[in-house]
């Protein structure tokens, strides 16, 4: 049987603050429709120069800790070379080097495989972009 490829774009309202948005339920809902109990791979991708995807525990302050760590490593100040949207914007363009814009995850019998307490999370530190897109693709 030949493999199938199914993809969908979802829109995420991130607002005007740095944020982490849990995508785990959206990924599982997509797989219920696309995987049909098949095994394969889920690729999650955000086509933005200032966003990334993380696999992290949420709800136990790990998400706040990640944002705090990113503020420490990538301060939104005026020392960045990229200033096309004003001071501090350049730090967001370095974010995908530390938090990549993609993740590929195993799917077994139609279910997303994550470890205990792991979630798929969109990380957005760009306060100038209140909406983001995420591309979900299943190959199975």
Q: How many Cβ atoms sit within 10 Å of the Cβ of residue 9? A: 11
Q: How far apart are CA 51 and CA 122, in angstroms?
A: 7
Q: What is the pLDDT along the chain (140 residues), one digit of tens a residue?
A: 467 999 999 999 998 888 899 999 999 999 999 999 999 999 999 999 889 999 999 888 898 999 999 999 988 777 767 666 666 667 778 889 999 999 999 999 999 999 999 999 999 988 788 899 999 999 99
User: What is the rounded CA–CA span in Å between residue 86 and residue 102?
Assistant: 27
DSSP state of 15: T
Q: How many CB atoms within 10 Å of residue 95?
A: 23
Q: Could you confirm whether domain 5-139 is CATH 2.60.120.460?
A: yes
What is the three-class DSSP state of 83?
coil
CA 102 from chain centre, in angstroms, equals: 7
Report the chain's terminal Cα–Cα distance, integer Å.
10
């Amino acid at each position: 049987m030949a493999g199938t490829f199914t993809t969908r774009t979802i829109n995420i309202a991130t607002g005007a603050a740095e944020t982490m948005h849990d995508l785990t339920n959206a990924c599982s809902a997509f797989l219920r429709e696309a995987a049909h109990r098949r095994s394969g791979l889920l690729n999650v991708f955000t086509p933005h120069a200032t966003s990334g995807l993380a696999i992290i525990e949420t709800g136990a302050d790990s998400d706040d800790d990640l944002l705090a760590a990113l503020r420490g490593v990538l301060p939104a100040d005026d020392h960045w070379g990229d200033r096309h949207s004003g001071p501090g914007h350049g730090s967001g363009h370095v974010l995908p080097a530390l938090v990549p814009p993609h993740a590929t995850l195993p799917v077994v019998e139609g279910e997303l495989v994550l470890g205990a307490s792991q979630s798929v999370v969109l990380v957005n530190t760009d306060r100038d972009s209140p909406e983001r897109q995420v591309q979900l693709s299943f190959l199975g």
